[in-house]
Amino acid sequence: MTDTTAARNLAPLREGYKYGFVSDIESESAPPGLNEDTVRFIAAKKGEPQWLLDWRLEAFRKWQTMESPHWAKLRIAPIDYQAATYYSAPKRQNAPKSLDEVDPELLKTYEKLGIPLNERAALAGVAVDAVFDSVSVATTFKRTLAELGIVFCSFGEAVREHPELVRKYLGTVVPQGDNFYAALNSAVFSDGSFAYIPSGVRCPMELSTYFRINAAKSGQFERTLIVADKGAYVSYLEGCTAPQRDENQLHAAVVELIALEGAEIKYSTVQNWYPGDAEGKGGIYNFVTKRGACRGARAKISWTQVETGSAITWKYPSCILEGDDSVGEFYSVAITNNFQQADTGTKMLHLGRNTRSTIISKGISAGRGQNTYRGLVRVQPKAENARNYTQCDSLLIGDKCGAHTVPYIEARNPTARIEHEATTSKISDDQMFYCQQRGLSKEDALSLIVNGFCKEVLKELPMEFAVEAQKLLAVSLEGSVG
């Protein structure tokens, strides 16, 4: 078979990045640039209390003394932080009280994205908090949740309605000066989601946030804080898309999770920011700090991520296992195609006794993509009988891409049991031919093999997300086999 027949067969299926549209919505923005006035502008726009402004300013001053990290295996074009816009909000009179009051253009955007923002969501059992550029637009199902004492709202609303909770936990897992991007976020974060599950309550539905960057030249700096009180349970989903633009856009989010004694938080992400075009032009810089703390005995935090978008991904969702018998998990699929780069992994910090962690990382590289797993497992002296199991698999498609594994292990207690397994494999021509000889098209064959490779991670996703993720994997790899 010649290459041209293959190309012809592929063409109709190559739909490209289908979320790349720009919505025609009037927005209100801060003037470009970053100084203390920008920070004050944001705080004033959001009507924030003095303590939060002070907190932001402290972060900003820290950020000014910091440098962007250079240890990751990433090639990043210099970012001009003075050229970006740090606040962009859809223009409107007052906050909408119901969906009817939301700008129809905005709702159309969400419809295109396939987000179940209205009652359809009830059937799907998803409560959605949607963040458009910087402001949380609508939160569904608040009432149902409120009956159980669950708070699920935008970050801004949480600051107004539940300041004591926000103040108690904000910055306790990711301090302002944690790293360059976290400091930037702490200074200029715009909105995000907040959830609090009271003691003993099992959240009856998946909580979900969709993030969307719409405005040009704007960065998105959302901040998410989730607290599960003693014995509570919550599963949280996060999805992301962005328009197709030629310049790179910055996304520097911070997510903090706090699980108290016996609580469990399951946090799943399907990240499909715009990856840039086939020549490597444009795309999102996804520089995100995600960390969870198990603050009591038997607490559990589980991160699941499917990273398909972004030009560059710099992200290490981590767990601080403070409580005895607490559990941390990290399940990850990261795809890099064309010119995408990903440096992602996790940190598992074992502080308490009998703490356990599991890391399953699946990296897929195609085109000229570069994929690095970077992980740290640290067992502190007091962490008797800590256990970790790490499995790191890389799959290569073609011979111009790369996969790298950088595991750090620091065991400071002799009772620690740490296992690390790593494999690298390549989809062979023989495998592709075998599938085709059984009647499968190249695309189906690829998707079958890739989904097989990722299934240990995909099975951790909630059902409706797993299906979406599978499709996304196939789309992300389009054109990677000729």
Partner 1 sequence: MLEIGNLHARIADGREILKGVDLAVKAGEVHAIMGPNGSGKSTLAGVLSGKPGYEVTEGQVLYEGRDLLAMPADERARAGVFLAFQYPVEIPGVNNMYFLRAALNAVRKQRGESEMDAGQFLKAVRAKLKLLEIGEDLLQRGVNVGFSGGEKKRNEIFQMAMLDPKLAILDETDSGLDIDALQMVSRGINALRGPDRAIVMITHYQRLLNYVVPDRVHVLSAGRIVKSGDAALARELEETGYGAYGDAA
Residues that bind partner 1 (CB under 8 A): 1, 5-6, 9, 425, 428-431, 433-442, 444, 448-449, 452-453, 455
Which residue matches tokens 């935090």? 301
Using the minimum distance from each CB to partner 1, give the nearer residue, 4 or 94: 4
Task: State the nearest-atom distance from the C-beta of 390 to partner 1, in Å.
Answer: 18
Compute CA 61 distance to the chain's CA centroid, rounded to the nearest angstrom.
26
Q: What is the spatial distance between Cα 221 and Cα 250, in angstroms, rounded to a whole number?
A: 8
Least distance in Å: CB of 306 to partner 1?
A: 16
- Smaller CB distance to partner 1: residue 92 or 442? 442
Residue with Cβ nearer partner 1 (4 or 50):
4
Cα distance between residue 308 and residue 371, in whole Å: 11
Q: Which is nearer to partner 1, 65 or 437 (CB)?
A: 437
Which of residues 3 and 26 has its CB atom nearest to partner 1 in the complex?
3
The one-character DSSP state at 283 is E
Contact 184, 221 (CB under 8 A): yes
Q: How far apart are CA 463 and CA 205, in angstroms?
A: 13
**Shortest approach of partner 1 to residue 460 CB, angstroms?**
15
CA distance 164 to 161: 9
Residue type, 457: V
Instruction: For the CB of residue 9, give the shortest distance to partner 1 in the complex, in Å.
Output: 6
CB of 453 to partner 1, least distance (A): 5
- Rounded to a whole number of angstroms, the minimum distance from the CB of residue 459 to partner 1 is 12
Residue type, 80: D
Q: How far is the CB of 101 from partner 1 (least distance, A)?
A: 45
CB 219 within 8 A of CB 251: yes
Cα distance between residue 313 and residue 286, in whole Å:
5
Which of residues 5 and 94 has its CB atom nearest to partner 1 in the complex? 5
Residue placing its CB nearer to partner 1 in the complex, 232 or 458: 458
Please give the backbone phi and psi of residue 357, each rounded to the nearest 5 degrees, phi first.
Answer: -140, 150
Whole-angstrom Cα distance, residue 461 to residue 235?
A: 10
Taking the C-alpha atoms of residue 169 and residue 249, their distance in angstroms, rounded to an integer, is 29
